[in-house]
A and B are shown apart, each in its own frame.
Chain A
Amino acid sequence: MIVTGNLAIGYGTAQVAGGIDLSVAQGEILCLLGPNGAGKTTLFKTLLGLIPALGGKVEINGIPVDTLSRAALARAVAYVPQAQVMEFAYTVLDLVLMGRTAHLGPFAAPGAVDHDRARAAIDELGILHLSDREANRISGGQRQLALIARALAQDAPMMVMDEPTASLDLGNRFLVLSRVQALRDRGFGVVFSTHDPDQARELATRVAVISGGRLAAYGTPDETLTAATLSEVHGVPVALERTDTGRTVIAPARPAS
Chain B
Amino acid sequence: MRAGLILVVLALGLLAAMLVGSVVGPYRIPPGEVLRTLVAPVTGTPASPTTDTILFQIRLPRVLAAALVGGALAAAGASYQTLFRNPLVSPDILGVSAGAGFGAVLGILLSLPVIAIQGLGFVTGLITVVVVYALARALRSQNEVLVLVLAGIVVGALAGAGISLVKILADPYNQLPAITFWLLGSLSGIKVSDAWSVAPPIIVGLVPLVLLRWRIGVLSLGDDEARALGVNVAFVRGVVIAAATLITAAAVSISGVIGWIGLMIPHMVRPLVGPRYDRVLPASVLMGAAFLVLVDTLARSAARIEIPLGLLTALIGAPIFVWLLARGRRVWS
Contacts and interface: CB of A to CB of B under 8 A. Distances in A.
Interface of A: 11, 45, 48-50, 69-71, 73-75, 77-79, 81, 85-91, 94, 98-99, 101-102, 104, 106-110, 136, 154
A108 B211 CA distance: 7
Given A94-B276, A107-B212, A89 B332 contact: yes
Nearest to B236: A106
Interface stretch (B44-52, B58-66, B222-230, B311-319): B222-230
A75 B229 CA distance: 8
A72 to B, nearest CB: 8
A75 B258 CA distance: 44
Contacts of A89: 270, 274-275, 330, 332-333
A87 B87 contact: yes
Contacts of A99: 229
Contacts, number: 85
Given A87-B220, A104-B214, A106-B212, A74 B274 contact: no
Given A85-B333, A87-B85, A154-B229, A101 B215 contact: yes
A136 B218 contact: no
A153 B225 CA distance: 15
12 contacts: A48-B224, A81-B224, A86-B333, A88-B82, A88-B85, A89-B333, A94-B274, A94-B275, A101-B230, A102-B230, A104-B214, A107-B211
Most chain B CB atoms below 10 A, which of A71, A89, A91, A104: A89
A118 to B, nearest CB: 13
B285 to A, nearest CB: 16
Most chain B CB atoms below 10 A, which of A79, A98, A154: A98
Interface residues of B, number: 30
B333 A109 contact: no
A104 B276 CA distance: 16
A109 B221 contact: no
Nearest to B331: A89
Contact of B225 (A70, A81, A91): A81
Given A87-B85, A98-B221, A70 B230 contact: yes
B176 interface: no
B111 interface: no
For the complex of A and B, the 7 pairs showing the least CB-CB separation, nearest first, are A102-B230, A74-B230, A79-B228, A88-B275, A71-B230, A107-B211, A109-B214
A75 B276 CA distance: 23
Given A50-B227, A87-B333, A109-B213, A101 B218 contact: yes
Contact of A88 (B142, B227, B278, B333): B333
Most chain A CB atoms below 10 A, which of B224, B232, B270, B332: B224
B224 A101 contact: no
Contact of A87 (B86, B215, B276, B330): B86
